[in-house]
Amino acid sequence: MARVTTYLNFEGSAEEAFGFYAKVFGTSVGPVVRMGDMPSEQGPTLTDAERGLVMHATVEILAGHVLMATDMLESMGHRLVVGNNTTINLEPDTREEAERLYAELSAGSSDCFALQEMPWGVWGTCLDRYNVRWMFNVATPNATV
């Protein structure tokens, strides 16, 4: 089922922040995927400290809305600044719908990563012409990550 979530980027404090949010909203943090859980062919070699950082975590807040998070990696050229710390995450039901949305929202945009295959499905992102950051995810059934 399609949904919209909010994706937050952190510099090494995603797990701490989500523990705080879970406490505030009386919920719990969903399964945490660590950077080290990703297949090594998906990215650069990570330090032990980086391998322990959060690749993906979730926490439900009000009315079923879900926050998601990751820790940005300086070694991959990531730098947290106001503007890239919050993203609207779209999870359409099909790749075709993701492609349509990506094409529309990325027209005239910048700072894009085209839709591509990832261990969990299809992923992409863009900063639209109004400087709003969008992420696109289509999960592959039975993905291992």
- The per-residue pLDDT for range 32-80, each reduced to its tens digit, is 999 999 887 656 688 999 999 999 999 999 888 999 999 999 887 888 7
What is the fold, at CATH topology level, of the domain defined by 3-103? 2,3-Dihydroxybiphenyl 1,2-Dioxygenase; domain 1 (3.10.180)
What is the rounded distance in angstroms from the CA atom of residue 133 to the CA atom of residue 3? 16
Cβ-proximal residues to 105 (8 Å cutoff; 6+ apart), any chain: 126, 128, 134
**pLDDT at res. 33:** 94
Predicted TM-score (pTM) of the model is 0.74
What is the rounded distance in angstroms from the CA atom of residue 77 to the CA atom of residue 91? 26
